[in-house]
Each structure stands twice: as C-alpha cells, then as structure tokens.
Structure 1
Amino acid sequence: MKKVLLFGDSIFNAYDGSRDTTRLTDALKKRLGDDYEIVNVSTSGATTADVLPRVDSLPACDVLVVEFGTNDASNDWGISLYDYQENLESLLKKAQKVTGASDTIVLSPSMPDFNNPEISKFYSLEGLDQYAEAAQRDAGKTNSFFFDLTHKMERLQDLPSFLTEDGQHYSEKGISWLADVLTNEITNLD
C-alpha cells in the first residue's frame, strides 16, 4: 500500500466557505482505492512561511503532494515572491528528507475567480504567473513533478462553477475535478 501525504492549505483541506472538510481526501480515497492510504496534514490559511517550522513533524510517506502558494500570492496577507521561492525550496528539500518520499508532486497556486470582486482585489494574473513559475523552478531544483494548477484552471470553461461563492475555494464540482487531476498525477508515477 502506498501512502500519499497531502501537504497544503485550505484548497487541500476542501474549505467550503465555513469550515474545513474531508471532501478532497474522501474523493481521492474513492478514486485511488485500497492500494493507497491518503493522509492530509494541510493547514487552512497557511503560507510557506507558516508551515516551514512544521516540516520536521511530517509523517513518512511514499508520495508527497505539496500545494502552497495561493495565500503566499495574495497581496493582502501573502509574502514576497522571493520569500515564497526560498521558502518553497527549503520546504520541499526538508519534507523530502523527513518523509522519505520516493516521489514529490508540486502544484502551483490555485486560480481565483477574477470576476468576483471580493477575492480578485487580492490577486493579479501577473502575480499568480510569477508564483507559478517559482513553483515550477523549485520543483525542478528538487527533482519533483510539477502540475501547473494555475494555468490549468485558467483554461477551465466556467471557472466560477468550480469554486464556492467566495471565488477561491472549491465547490463540489471543483473538488471532483481536483481529485481527478491528483489521481491522474499520482497514478502516472507508477
């Protein structure tokens, strides 16, 4: 049985607008079946700076899936692009060592609904592009697989239907789509 460790923010915690849920973890368990154990140690609202001190306590796993950057890229409470890239690289190197993961998948930041003024005021497409490029560079530096969540979401038809009313977190349709994406990425490692 392969152990998959999800390490991210509220996107991986499947925050539904009022609370964290197990929707993503449950969807992955259903799709991947009994050959995989899914463990989710994500922290809603976290940036790479917030979780760096926690990396030493991560459990062992076979596959590490890292999803940080959405909060980092926010111009309201995020961190600089330079700090994000430095933090993510440190986080990946340390997490790979601590967990002993044979494979690591790094996701770029999630794409908000730019038609929603309540969330779009905190992000720019140019900024998200830069954070996505930084995540891709760090994935390369750490021999990790990279999935460009930012630009994959940008190309979705009717993006708002994949998100909750807040324009950032995932609806049932979005969780199903993300679970399909992650299942594909994880099973392609075999």
Structure 2
Amino acid sequence: MKKVVLFGDSIFNAYDGQKDTDRLTKALAKRLGDAYEVVNISVSGACAQDVLPRVGSLPACDILVVEYGTNDAASWGCSAYDYQEGLESLIKQAQKVTRASDTLVLAPSMPDLTNPEMAAAYSLEKLDEYVDIAQRDAGKTNSFFFDLTHKMEKLKDLPSFMIADGLHYSEKGISWLADVLADQINKMA
C-alpha cells in the first residue's frame, strides 16, 4: 500500500466555514482506492514559512503533496521572496524527512475574485507571481508541479466551487479537487 501525505493549508483541511473537515482526505482516498493510504497533516491558516518547524514530524510516505501559497499570496501574507525561500526550504526538508519517492507541488488556490473580500485581499498579478515561484521551486526540488491557480481560473462558475467566503471549497469544489489530485497522483505512479 502506498502512503500519500497531504501537507497544505485550510484548502487541504477542507475548511467548511466553521471548522476543518476530512472531506478532501476521504474523497481522495475513495478515488485512489485500496492501494493507497491518504494522511492529511495540513495546517489551516498557515503560510509556507509558518510550518517549517512542523516538517520534522511528517510521517514517511511514498507520495508527498504540498499545497501552500494561498495564504502567502494574500495582502496579509508574505513577500514573494519569503514565499520562495519558505516553500523551497519546506519542500527540501519534507522530502528528506518523509523519504517520498515523488513530490507534487501545487500552485496557490484561486480565490473567487468576484467576492469583494477576496478581491480586496488578492490580485491576479500576485497570484501569477506565486504560481511562477511554486513552479520554480518544484523544478529545483525535482518535484511534479500542478498549476491549481490557472486550472481554477478556467472553471466555469468558479463561485459554485466555493463556500460563501470565496476562498474555501464547497462540496462541488472538494469533489473537483479530489478528482484533480487523484489524476495527478495516478500520473506519477
């Protein structure tokens, strides 16, 4: 059985507006089937640099999936330099600790910019910059990369994939994200 570790923020924790849930973990496990064990070690509200002290406690795994950058790219997040340094360090340390044979790095999640609060906190320009950083860091660490930002930007009716806050995923969004992750993981296997 292959072990998949999800290491991200509230997007991977499937925050539902009130609390973190296991919706994504269960949905991904169902899609991957009995050949995989899915473990979620995500930290809601965190930026890449915030979780560096926790990397040492990650379990060994076959596939590591890293999803940080959504909070980093917010107006209250961190500079591009700090994101780049934090993400690269996080990936390198996590690969060493988990001994993962494969790592998948996701670009930041795309907020619903028609939501006034999200439009005030995020810009397409900054998200694009953070996508480029995530892609470069994936390359530097011999990781697979998936551009979640631009994949979401192309979705018809993005707000239906989100809960009312415009950032976290609805049931439809969780189902879509689980499909995306399962597809990417199966391509790596």
Instruction: Tell me the TM-score normalised to structure 1 length.
Output: 0.99
> 1:112 matched to which residue of 2?
111
Shift of the alpha carbon at 1:120?
1.6
> 2:54 matched to which residue of 1?
54
SS at match of 2:103: strand
Q: Show CA shifts across 1:58-114 (max 9, x none).
A: 1100000000000001112x0100010011001101100000000000000000011
Task: Report the residue type matching 1:28 in the other structure.
Answer: L
In 2, Cα distance between equivalents of 1:125 and 1:118: 14
SS at match of 1:121: helix
> 2:165 matched to which residue of 1?
166
Task: Report the residue type matching 2:126 in the other structure.
Answer: G
> 1:71 matched to which residue of 2?
71
Shift of the alpha carbon at 1:152?
0.3
**Aligned partners of 2:106 and 2:134 also within 8 Å:** yes
Instruction: Tell me the TM-score normalised to structure 2 length.
Output: 0.99
**Aligned partners of 2:5 and 2:64 also within 8 Å:** yes
Shift of the alpha carbon at 1:119?
1.8
> 1:37 matched to which residue of 2?
37
In 2, Cα distance between equivalents of 1:96 and 1:49: 16
Q: Show CA shifts across 1:122-162 (max 9, x none).
A: 00000000000000000000000000000000000000000
Aligned residues: 189
Task: Report the residue type matching 2:103 in the other structure.
Answer: T
Shift of the alpha carbon at 1:189?
1.1
> 1:27 matched to which residue of 2?
27
> 2:87 matched to which residue of 1?
88
In 1, Cα distance between equivalents of 2:47 and 2:21: 19
Give the percent of matched residue pairs that are identical in Structure 1 and Structure 2: 73
In 1, Cα distance between equivalents of 2:127 and 2:172: 23
> 1:184 matched to which residue of 2?
183
In 2, Cα distance between equivalents of 1:90 and 1:20: 26
| RMSD over equivalenced CA pairs, Å | 0.5
> 2:96 matched to which residue of 1?
97
> Mapping of 1:123-142 within 5 angstroms?
123-142=122-141
Shift of the alpha carbon at 1:29?
1.0
SS at match of 1:17: coil
SS at match of 1:129: helix
> 1:7 matched to which residue of 2?
7
**Aligned partners of 2:49 and 2:90 also within 8 Å:** no
